[in-house]
Amino acid sequence: MTGMTVSEPAGQNYRKLPQYIAALSAAGGALAAGTVLGWTSPTQHGLVDEQEYGFEISREAFSWIGSAMTLGAAAVCIPIGLLINLIGRKLTMLLLVLPFTLGWALIIWATSVPMMLVGRVLVGISGGAFCVTAPMYTGEIASKEIRGILGSFFQLMVTIGILFVYAVGHGVNVFTLSIICAVIPLIFGVIFFFMPESPLYLVTKDKIGKATESIKWLRGDKYDHNAELADLQQQIDEIRAQPVSLAVAMRRRATIRALIISMGLMFFQQTCGINAVIFYTTDIFAAANTGIEAGLATIIVGIMQVGATLVSTAVVDRLGRRILLISSISVMSICTILMGVYFFLKDQDPTQTENLGWLPIVSLCIFIVMFSFGFGPVPWLMMGELFASDVKGFAGPIAGTTNWLLAFVITKTFVNLKDAIGAGETFWLFSGFSIVGLVFVFFLVPETKGKSLTEIQELLNGSSRQVQPTTSVTTVSNLSESDVKN
């Protein structure tokens, strides 16, 4: 997201289609990241039970294989936030194809668990890096009127990637599935090669001619690119004229509030129980005696995720961020309470739940829909909207790192927690977090719909004066101002 988002003058004749094309191309990296996230679900049976690769993989080892990608993703968020300013948004994303390809190659031709673990860490690095770079790039190329929609493409493509793996994995073996997944980042690289670099990045590097070409590509020849260039240049000149250290910038009231809000949203996104619900999908469908096999059950869940995220993408710039978050986490807390009741009763006396098989499956479906509608995409979108330009490249990745580390911790400890306190009680714990998250959103999360970064900074500062973003000349100068993150 860019602090330099330009408001098009009234009546300005500019095109939106090229922006959609560029944003969708960038989101191809999110599609690849989605395949990484979804890969473990259809492969567990083949790798653990059937030993398809010819060497033993225990369930504990497989749990590490599944969660290793979150460690890679967490490790790369902050470094990639710095690299993207040094070599550009476009080149950074194109270079991410390399670890993607190497990682998938190690997985495809793995001869041991450590080899597969290294492969998963590498694809996790690429996937996590895209969680920073793709939303950042999209926010910087987007007009303010469609910033929310384009920013939501990232989470939409992640869910499509997950669904793709579920569907393909249902019909092919692990080796073939991994090869197919490896091709996706290569296709992304070919397509994205023809997209323009961010105009903001080009102006910060004093490449005015290339910035002009980029704006014309994105907005059309009839758009008054001179006005946008002048606006960007003026704001960058002001940044350079008023340099402050990153440490000072991080202590500003607006930055502190933005960090609290973005990290809080990431915290509640993970502690609402999404991974536990996904983990229990097979058991819930089996308990309901639907006759639907595990593979088809995960495909159904994937379809619901994509559908709800698509709806969220369409309405986020109309309804706003807060209403999506509040409605999402409110309903999710009720769903996990009901699932907790079901599993608590089942643990006490299985006969009590013989006629309640519908309860967990309905709760699961509604939970997935509401998560994908609000708390799935919106925290990543708002992550980039809340930070000023001089701290975005550092503070935004901090929030992303928080998300991935929490994903790792919760994924790895869920089974232990369930064994320690019970399945029902675990779901109730998630409900408690969701209720606290509802209070958090209601009192602390501002509405950013239709606001420029300057207006958002004013809101966070609690001031009516305009806040000029500044940047460090020694550490993170001219860091990304992207508008969006998964």
pLDDT at 453: 63
In whole angstroms, give the CA distance from residue 266 to residue 406. 8
Mean pLDDT of the chain: 83
pLDDT at 356: 82
- The residue-averaged pLDDT of 402-409 equals 87
Confidence of residue 288 (pLDDT cuts 50, 70, 90): low
Which amino acid type is present at position 115? M
- The residue-averaged pLDDT of 354-371 equals 87
- The residue-averaged pLDDT of 208-232 equals 83
Confidence of residue 242 (pLDDT cuts 50, 70, 90): low
pLDDT surpasses 80 at 443: yes
pLDDT surpasses 90 at 197: yes
Report pLDDT digits (tens) over 444-455.
998 888 776 667
pLDDT surpasses 70 at 4: no
Q: What percent of the chain stands above pLDDT 90?
A: 34
Number of H helices, E strands in the chain: 23, 0
pLDDT surpasses 50 at 3: no
Determine contact, residues 441/326, Cβ cutoff 8 Å.
yes
Most confident of 278-282, 373-377, 455-459: 373-377
Greatest CA span in the chain, whole angstroms?
73
Confidence of residue 245 (pLDDT cuts 50, 70, 90): low
In whole angstroms, give the CA distance from residue 143 to residue 119. 38
Which pTM was predicted?
0.81
φ/ψ of 10, rounded to 5, equals -55, 135
How many Cβ atoms from other residues are within 10 Å of residue 124's Cβ?
Answer: 27
pLDDT surpasses 70 at 474: no
Confidence of residue 347 (pLDDT cuts 50, 70, 90): confident
pLDDT surpasses 80 at 477: no
Of the candidates 285, 305, 304, 287, the residue with the CA atom closest to the CA atom of residue 295: 285
Which of 242-256, 266-280, 427-441 bottoms out in mean pLDDT, i.e. has the lowest?
242-256
Q: State the angle between helix axes of 147-169 and 294-319 in degrees (0 to 180), rounded to the nearest 10.
A: 180
pLDDT at 134: 87
Report pLDDT digits (tens) over 140-177.
888 777 877 887 888 889 889 989 998 999 889 999 99
Q: Which has more confidence, 211 or 436?
A: 436
Of the candidates 85, 148, 26, the residue with the CA atom closest to the CA atom of residue 393: 85
- The residue-averaged pLDDT of 338-349 equals 89
DSSP letter string over 83-113?
A: HHHHH-HHHHHHHTHHHHHHHHHHHHT--SH
In whole angstroms, give the CA distance from residue 382 to residue 483. 8
